[in-house]
Every structure is written in structure tokens, then in C-alpha cells.
Amino acid sequence: MVYIEEGGFVTPGQQICVAEEFSPGINVKMTRDNIIVSTKAGFVSYDKNKRIVYVRPVKSIESVNLGDQVLVETKDVQEKIAIAEILAVNRKPLKHKRVAVILPNVKTRQDLNECIGVGDLVIAEVVTLFSGVIGLSIWKNELGSVLPICSRCGRPLRKVDKVLTCFKCGNQEKRKLSSFDVSALEKWILSRSLPG
Ligand SMILES: [Zn+2]
């Protein structure tokens, strides 16, 4: 007996079929009642030649590749390196947050403290994946801080006569700003990843 047809979507624990014609393949298991259930979210697949049923998992976007554009939140900034948490990759939110490092500009050797701040939302590009460390660049025009945060009081900074100013406490700070408007953030944050 088949509960879920070829290509049907299942979640973990969902019954797929009775184990009479098909044996369990990957991402499924057999219960004591001889029913094959899914162990992952994905799509049911019947291999009629091998008489195996398995689940193709939902393609996750958890992988980060060279050249990807990412939205990050800065956690710590030092002179030569900044630590950031990746929130989204290529406009798709990450389910499990990942840590990356923002690398300094090799040409200008500018102090990173003058380019980004803790709490900033920053658009960056993945430029290295050496030893599993995700290295980011913010030096292209469209890259950099989209939502700079005041280091003194934590409110968003706004540009007044080319100077980033906090309307609350009057603090003035420097940033490498993205050419993206802050409204671009909406696309990054509101877009949702879809299965497939
Ligand atoms: Zn402030």
C-alpha cells in the first residue's frame, strides 16, 4: 500500500508506504508495523528497478560558496579583522547562522574600525573559504554597511551632509557604506527560501 506517491512531499515521521513491494533506502526507516516512514523533509522517490523507496532531501541553502553575496551582522570589530554572523546568502535567509570574518582592504590597509561597526548590517561577498573559514570582502561599491549602528547608543546612524550622525546622541562615525539603499535590506530579510 502506498500512502505517498512518487514526488510527494514528506516531513520526518510521515508514513510513505507499507514495506511489501519496496525496501527502505536513504532518509527513510521501517517501523515495527512494516511501514516505511521518512526521516527527513523531502520528496518521495520510488526506484522500481531496485525496489527501493527513498527521500530526496529538500535542497538546503546552508552551503556558502565563493562569490556569494551575504548579509551579515557584525559582532566584533578589530583593526585587522571583524567577526560577523551570516544571516542570508544570495537573498535567502540561513536557517543555521554561520560565522564569517570580514577581511581588511589589502590596498588601502585602512583600519576596519573606520569601516564597519558592531551591530551593523553589512552586505559582503565571499572571497575565501580557506580551511573552512568564510572570508568576506566589503570593498566593492555595492558592498559595505547598509544599516550602520551607533557604537555609543545602538541606534541607527543617518547621513547628514556626508557625515554619519546619530540623531539620538549626536555621535558621528565613519563607515564603508554599501551603494544599496537601506530598503534593499527588506528584500534580504523578507525573502524566504523555498523547497527545491
Ligand atoms: Zn548614538
The rounded percent of the chain whose pLDDT value lies above 70 is 93
pLDDT at site 134: 93
Largest Cα–Cα separation, the chain: 74
Tens-place pLDDT, residues 140-191? 999 999 999 999 999 999 988 889 999 999 999 999 999 987 777 777 665 5
pLDDT at 62: 66
Upper half-sphere CA count for residue 121 (Cβ side, 13 Å): 17
pTM over 0.75: no
Supply the mean pLDDT for the chain. Answer: 89
For the chain, list the strands marked E by DSSP. Answer: 9-10, 15-18, 23-24, 28-30, 35-38, 42-47, 52-57, 69-77, 82-89, 92-102, 121-128, 135-137, 144-147, 157-160, 163-166, 172-173
**What is the 8-class DSSP label of residue 11?**
-
Q: How far is the CA of 188 from the centre of ligand 1 (A)?
A: 25
Residues sharing a CB contact under 8 Å with residue 159, sequence separation 6 or more, in sequence order: 165, 177
Q: What is the mean pLDDT of residues 95-121?
A: 92
Residue ranges of domains in the chain: 9-57, 69-190
The β-bridge relationship of strands 82-89 and 135-137 is unpaired
Q: Assess contact for 33 and 17: CB atoms under 8 A.
A: no
Q: How far apart are CA 121 and CA 15, in angstroms?
A: 43
Check residue 192 and give its pLDDT: 46
Distance 129 CA to ligand 1 centre (A): 35
**70 within 8 A of 64, measured Cβ to Cβ:** yes
- Per-residue pLDDT band for 193 (boundaries 50, 70, 90) equals very low
What is residue 194's predicted lDDT score, i.e. its pLDDT?
Answer: 38
Ligand 1 centroid–CA 32 distance in Å is 62
Which residues are CB-neighbours of 5 under 8 A, at least 6 positions away? 44
Check pLDDT > 90 for residue 9.
no
Q: What is the pLDDT of residues 21-63, one digit of tens each?
A: 899 999 999 999 999 999 988 889 999 999 999 998 776 556 7
How far away, in angstroms, is 172 Cα from ligand 1 center? 8
Q: Would you give the DSSP letter of residue 61?
A: -
Per-residue pLDDT, 155: 93
Q: Which CATH fold would you assign to the domain 9-57?
A: OB fold (Dihydrolipoamide Acetyltransferase, E2P) (2.40.50)
Show the cell assigned to 179: 551603494
d(CA 123, CA 136): 9
**Fold of the domain spanning 69-190:** OB fold (Dihydrolipoamide Acetyltransferase, E2P) (2.40.50)
pLDDT of 68 > 60? The answer is yes
Domains 9-57 and 69-190 share a fold: yes
Ligand 1 centroid from CA 164, angstroms: 11
* Distance in Å, CA 163 to ligand 1 centroid: 14
